[in-house]
A and B are shown apart, each in its own frame.
Chain A
Amino acid sequence: MNPIQNFFDKQRKHFEPGGRLAPWEPFYEAMERVFFASPETSPQAPHCRDSLSVQRYMMLVIIMVLPCLLFGIYNAGYQSFKAAGQSADVWTMLWFGAKIVMPLVIISYIFGFGWEIIFSAVRKHPISEGVFVSAMLFPLTLPPTTPWWQAAIGISFGVVIGKEVFGGTGRNFLNPALTGRAFLYFAYPVQMSGDAVWIVVCQNGNRIVDAISSATPLAVASTVKASGTAETALTQAGYSIQTLFIGLYPDSIGASSVVLCIIGAVVLMIWGVASYRIILGDIFGVLSVGYLLNLLANDGSMPYFSMNPWYHLLIGGTAFGFAFMTTDPVSAPDTHAARWVYGYLIGALTVIIRVFNPAFPEGIMLAILFMNIFAPLLDQIAVKVKLKKRIANV
Chain B
Amino acid sequence: MENLLSIFVNSALIGNILLAYFLGMCSYLSVSKNLQTSLGLGLAVTFVMTITTPVNWLVYHYLLAPGALAWARLPDTDLSFLKLVLFIATIAGMVQVVEMVIDRYSQALYNGLGVFLPLITVNCAILGASLFMVERRYDFWETAVYGFGSGLGWLLAIVAMSTVMQKLRYADVPAGLHGFGIRMIVTGLMAMAFMLFSGITL
Q: Which residues of A contact B (CB under 8 A)?
A: 122-123, 161-162, 165-168, 171-174, 179, 182-183, 186, 349, 353, 356-360, 363, 366-367, 369-370, 372-374, 376-377, 379-380
* Residue in chain B with minimal CB distance to A171: B171
B106: CB under 8 A from chain A? no
Can you offer 23 A-B residue contacts whose CB atoms are under 8 A? A122-B174, A123-B172, A161-B185, A162-B189, A165-B174, A165-B177, A165-B182, A165-B185, A166-B182, A167-B170, A167-B173, A349-B196, A356-B202, A357-B197, A357-B199, A358-B200, A369-B193, A373-B190, A374-B160, A374-B163, A376-B160, A376-B167, A377-B160
Using A171-B172, A179-B189 as known contacts, say yes or no to A370 and B163 having CB atoms under 8 A apart: no
Contact B166 A376 (CB under 8 A): yes
Residue in A122, A183, A360 whose Cβ sees the most chain B Cβ within 10 Å: A360
Contact B167 A173 (CB under 8 A): yes
Residues of B within 8 A of A183 (CB): 192
Contact A376 B199 (CB under 8 A): no
Q: Which residues of B contact A (CB under 8 A)?
A: 35, 159-160, 163-164, 166-168, 170-174, 177, 182, 185-186, 189-190, 192-202
Residues of B within 8 A of A376 (CB): 160, 163-164, 166-167
Contact A359 B163 (CB under 8 A): no
Using A166-B168, A356-B200, A379-B163 as known contacts, say yes or no to A372 and B182 having CB atoms under 8 A apart: no
Contact A366 B35 (CB under 8 A): no
For the A-B complex, the count of residue pairs with Cβ-Cβ distances under 8 Å equals 90
Chain A proximity of B184: nearest CB distance (Å): 11
Chain B proximity of A20: nearest CB distance (Å): 26
Q: CA of A373 to CA of B186 in the docked complex: distance in angstroms? A: 9
Q: CA of A171 to CA of B177 in the docked complex: distance in angstroms? A: 15
Contact pick for B172, options A167, A349, A359, CB 8 Å: A167
Contact pick for B196, options A122, A179, A366, CB 8 Å: A366
Residues of A within 8 A of B194 (CB): 370
Using A165-B185, A179-B189, A186-B192 as known contacts, say yes or no to A377 and B199 having CB atoms under 8 A apart: no
- Give the 8 A-B CB pairs with smallest separation, nearest first: A359-B199, A167-B172, A376-B163, A366-B196, A369-B193, A171-B171, A166-B171, A377-B163
Q: CA of A374 to CA of B185 in the docked complex: distance in angstroms? A: 16
Residues of A within 8 A of B192 (CB): 179, 182-183, 186, 369
Residues of A within 8 A of B160 (CB): 373-374, 376-377
Q: CA of A273 to CA of B167 in the docked complex: distance in angstroms? A: 22
Contact B199 A360 (CB under 8 A): yes
| 15 further interface pairs, Cβ-Cβ under 8 Å (given A167-B171, A182-B195, A370-B194) | A122-B174, A123-B172, A161-B185, A165-B185, A167-B170, A171-B168, A173-B167, A179-B189, A356-B200, A357-B199, A369-B189, A373-B164, A377-B160, A380-B35, A380-B166
Contact B172 A168 (CB under 8 A): yes
